[in-house]
Amino acid sequence: MSQCTDPKSKKATPTTMHMLSAHVAGVLQYLSASPLLLLAVLPLISLLLVSVVLAAIKLAMSRRIRARPQDGNPAAPYRSVDSPELKTMMFEECDTIDKLWSRAVGLYATKKCLGTRELLSEEDEVQPNGKVFKKVILGEYKWQTYTDVDRRIVSLGQGLAALGQKPRNNVLMLAETRADWMVTAQTCFKFNYPLVTIYATLGEEAIAHGINESEATHVFTNAELLPKIKNVAGKIPKVQYIIYMDALNNKPAATEGFPAGIQILSMAQVEEMGTRAENANRPIQPPVPDDLAVIMYTSGSTGLPKGVMIAHRNLIGGMAGQCDRIPGLGPKDTYIGYLPLAHVLELSAEISCLAFGTPIGYSSPLTLSDQSSKIKRGSKGDASVLRPTLMAAVPVIMDRIYKTVMDKVNEGGKWKKAMFNVAYGYKLKLVENGSDTPLLNRSLFKPVRSILGGKIRMMLSGGAPLSATTQRFMNVCFCCPVLQGYGLTETCGAGTVTEVDDLTTGRVGAPLICNEIKLVDWDEGGYTTEDKPYPRGEIVLGGPNITMGYYKNPQQTAEDFREEGGNRWFYTGDIGEFHPDGCLKIIDRKKDLVKLQAGEYVSLGKVEAALKNNSLVDNICVYASSDQHYAIALVVPNHKHLKNLSAKMELKTDQWEELCNDPDLEKEVLKVLHKVAKEAKLERFEIPQKLRLCSESWTPDTGLVTDAFKLKRKNLQSHYSQDIARLYGS
Ligand SMILES: *[C@@H]1O[C@H](CO)[C@@H](O)[C@H](O)[C@H]1NC(C)=O
Ligand SMILES: *[C@@H]1O[C@H](CO)[C@@H](O)[C@H](O)[C@H]1NC(C)=O
Ligand SMILES: *[C@@H]1O[C@H](CO)[C@@H](O)[C@H](O)[C@H]1NC(C)=O
Ligand SMILES: *[C@@H]1O[C@H](CO)[C@@H](O)[C@H](O)[C@H]1NC(C)=O
Ligand SMILES: *[C@@H]1O[C@H](CO)[C@@H](O)[C@H](O)[C@H]1NC(C)=O
Ligand SMILES: CC(=O)N[C@H]1CO[C@H](CO)[C@@H](O)[C@@H]1O
């Protein structure tokens, strides 16, 4: 990883400035021969000068120091220069989430709060291959105001209390992202019911484990997921009530067939119960900052999910840090919520939006844009109707948007493609130099921008590393900053986020004002804080946002959370390097390092990142066994590009399965990847020597990737064990 230096950051501003002012001076000299002409052109020239100066200022700002180690020692914790003292709250006095919410209700009472689109119609579309896809036509967003939502929160909380729910007893949430999810969460915060979240896409074993371990008696879910819970009903003896949110397609919920001890109620029934005179006036016991707000089960890359215990104080601290990097957040913004709320990134983003009066319109990955798979052709996707200004995304969604745009451009014909490429290249240079391109933004890039509604002013990526190429592409095409953050559930999603004025890509930014970050030597991997040109090591976070540990798992908690120097630290297992301006770059992961037979280390993640760059590759898992002398790869090929390659090779078949099993095609893909690997300057031993084309795609419900689409290496390994044995020739 020695070529991680960013050559662009070395370029001096004065050179560019100099060149341009010399240019302007030359023109001036020429014009002075004709004073009239000069008079006419003067405004133009001053405009040019102003833009040059502005660009230079922007560039200088981009290169300013953003964080420092406390005493100049690279092994000491780095803190943001904006906040030598760690910041722990957004608003004075709001030290719990329910106070944050009450403040917002007071300020924004009649403003839009949560929005959901109505379903106009649903139909089945039969594909040529016989598969049936559900397509929907959706209407306008229907909004609940802050006051509406607040009323529901009180009713729901009192209804739960009437059903025997007690403060400090867990309430479980297994549901997909939607307005009712947030209403329930805010209810739990207000009534001090710790909210246990589990990803809706987890397998039944993991779900049963989470529900049972949490000992929750009241479980929230959406009607569509009731069958999934029914299948595990025998393994969750403590559950007494299952409260479901109505199906979005208004179909009746399947409430039959549950064991006698479990009562099934709709959310509306519970809210109605809370408004009855005998229930409505019970005293509410609000939480204190150290009370548990959330127990968030994370789908770890290995084993059963672990519950991370997050106190009110932790979430408040993390959000104070994150919101500081979103300048201007307020009632003028609109946020599109579609990522899983059981993910800390989405949960803290949405709670923050509500705290600042920003309305949230709900969506889903399948209905996001006009081109999304569940949207009926010719009707509008959620982004086109909502026209959000802020959006969070995980890299896999950004990669999908990137590929959609590129495919569209490629299909548009030679002329269009050439024009796009020229404009893109031109704008790229200007953007990297800090110059603005208002005309290009409003002409050529307008149609691209309109894919997401046309008003996006900032995108935030988190959850997994975003490639520098994709980050820059989104930045140029959508004409807005694309921030990249780094954080974990264990740190409340806090850690780092790049700043709006940072023009570089591929880094995750400086520590947030709510936490500090230090690097710790990892000898086995050969990373130390003495490394040149940059200090490197395991990333370790400290601050008020460090959570209380893993639920009912003191052993793992003691391993990952440590008290050092009077502070609490979380050991992430990720490897990073600090650049001179105090920005962090993620370069490796401890678990991803495999030692080959001959003693060389292969960083699986690094090799994957390099090879994924090719359009033939939709997903890839590199595997290396310590008793072998080479690495191999499992590749999910891109349909369009693999078919294109097979057509060129004049293969007889067109069947996907047969294509993936074709040994000649396998060799051809390997050849392409070797070329990519050489261009990316991978070492010989890092390049996979054999590969398997995998015909199925890896989605969270296959259990092969996590909800954030991180590879689950163990599961992939056992799923493809026969292929791995074949590739290793045994
Ligand atoms: C449920 O949890 C209890 C302990 O809390 C444990 O003894 C039991 O085996 C668990 N049951 C299942 C089905 O996981
Ligand atoms: C942008 O910077 C590059 C080198 O950093 C330089 O070659 C180019 O002329 C600059 N372009 C503008 C428009 O300033
Ligand atoms: C044009 O797009 C760039 C990013 O691609 C952005 O920095 C700039 O602010 C945009 N300018 C206007 C006027 O929208
Ligand atoms: C991906 O490809 C682009 C050019 O297509 C190149 O600039 C970039 O460095 C590549 N990224 C990696 C990680 O190899
Ligand atoms: C298909 O292959 C041809 C020939 O190599 C290439 O020019 C074309 O761009 C490819 N099409 C796609 C969609 O990649
Ligand atoms: C759980 C935890 O580590 N809480 C700490 C958060 O930070 C404050 C001070 O900033 C500490 O007092 C808490 O112990």
Look up the CATH number of domain 78-82+389-589: 3.40.50.12780
Whether the predicted pLDDT of 404 surpasses 90: no
| DSSP character at residue 304 | S
Average pLDDT over residues 184-207: 93
Measured in Å, residue 479 CA sits from the centre of ligand 3 at: 5
In the structure, what pLDDT confidence band is assigned to residue 35 with cuts at 50, 70 and 90?
Answer: low
What pLDDT, in 10s, does the model give residues 612-622? 888 899 999 99
Pocket test for ligand 6, best of 86, 290, 313 (most atoms within 8 A of CB): 313
Q: In what order do the strands lie in the sheet with 617-624?
A: 617-624, 631-637, 690-693
β-sheet bridge partners, residue 145: 112
In the structure, what pLDDT confidence band is assigned to residue 359 with cuts at 50, 70 and 90?
Answer: very high
Residue 644 near ligand 5, beta carbon < 6 Å: yes
The ligand minimizing its distance to the Cα of 320 is 6
Q: Which numbered atom of ligand 1 lies nearest the CA of 209? A: 14
Contact 16, 56 (CB under 8 A): yes
What pLDDT, in 10s, does the model give residues 58-83? 888 888 999 999 888 889 999 999 98
Task: Determine the Cα angle at 293 with ends 288 and 296, to 5°.
Answer: 160
Contacts of 75 (CB under 8 A, 6+ apart): 69, 518, 519, 520, 521, 529, 535, 537
Whether the predicted pLDDT of 2 surpasses 80: no
Measured in Å, residue 313 CA sits from the centre of ligand 4 at: 41
Residue 45 near ligand 4, beta carbon < 6 Å: no
β-sheet bridge partners, residue 705: 711
Average pLDDT over residues 264-269: 97
Whether the predicted pLDDT of 197 surpasses 80: yes
Which CA distances in Å does 622 have to 4, 421, 452, 713?
21, 32, 33, 9
Name the more confident of 592 and 254: 254
The confidence score (pLDDT) of residue 245 equals: 96
Residue nearest (by alpha carbon) to ligand 5 atom 8: 644
The confidence score (pLDDT) of residue 7 equals: 35
Residue nearest (by alpha carbon) to ligand 6 atom 5: 544
Whether the predicted pLDDT of 535 surpasses 70: yes
The ligand minimizing its distance to the Cα of 570 is 6
Measured in Å, residue 452 CA sits from the centre of ligand 3 at: 16
Residue nearest (by alpha carbon) to ligand 6 atom 9: 544
Whether the predicted pLDDT of 20 surpasses 60: no
> Coil, strand or helix: which one is 499?
coil
Please give the radius of gyration of the chain, using alpha carbons only, rounded to the nearest integer: 27
| DSSP character at residue 343 | S
Pocket test for ligand 6, best of 516, 546, 564 (most atoms within 8 A of CB): 546
Residue 568 near ligand 6, beta carbon < 6 Å: yes
Residue 433 near ligand 2, beta carbon < 6 Å: yes
Average pLDDT over residues 638-651: 89
The ligand minimizing its distance to the Cα of 87 is 6
Average pLDDT taken over every residue of the chain: 89
Residue nearest (by alpha carbon) to ligand 2 atom 9: 16
The confidence score (pLDDT) of residue 400 equals: 80
Burial label, 227 (beta-carbon count in 10 A; 0-12, 13-18, 19+) = exposed
What pLDDT, in 10s, does the model give residues 88-142? 999 999 999 999 999 999 999 999 999 999 999 999 888 777 778 889 999 999 9
Domains 78-82+389-589 and 97-110+132-322 in one fold? yes
Dihedral sign for Cα atoms in the order 257, 242, 169, 360: positive
Contacts of 169 (CB under 8 A, 6+ apart): 193, 194, 216, 217
Q: Assign domain 97-110+132-322 to its CATH architecture.
A: 3-Layer(aba) Sandwich (3.40)
In the structure, what pLDDT confidence band is assigned to residue 9 with cuts at 50, 70 and 90?
Answer: very low
**Whole-angstrom Cα distance, residue 646 to residue 522?**
45
Residues framing ligand 3 (Cβ under 6 A): 431, 436-438, 441, 475-476, 479
The confidence score (pLDDT) of residue 16 equals: 44
What pLDDT, in 10s, does the model give residues 710-727? 888 888 998 999 999 999
Residue-range domain boundaries for the chain? 3-63, 78-82+389-589, 97-110+132-322, 596-727
Average pLDDT over residues 268-279: 96
In the structure, what pLDDT confidence band is assigned to residue 34 with cuts at 50, 70 and 90?
Answer: low
The confidence score (pLDDT) of residue 32 equals: 58
**Whole-angstrom Cα distance, residue 551 to residue 541?**
20
The confidence score (pLDDT) of residue 730 equals: 65
| DSSP character at residue 588 | E
Residue nearest (by alpha carbon) to ligand 6 atom 1: 548
Q: Which numbered atom of ligand 5 lies nearest the CA of 411? A: 13
Give which of 235, 194, 244, 240 is closest to 212, Cα–Cα. 235
Residue nearest (by alpha carbon) to ligand 5 atom 7: 644
| CATH for the 596-727 domain, from 3.40.50.720, 3.10.180.10, 3.30.70.20, 3.30.300.30 | 3.30.300.30
In the structure, what pLDDT confidence band is assigned to residue 25 with cuts at 50, 70 and 90?
Answer: low
**Whole-angstrom Cα distance, residue 593 to residue 225?**
38
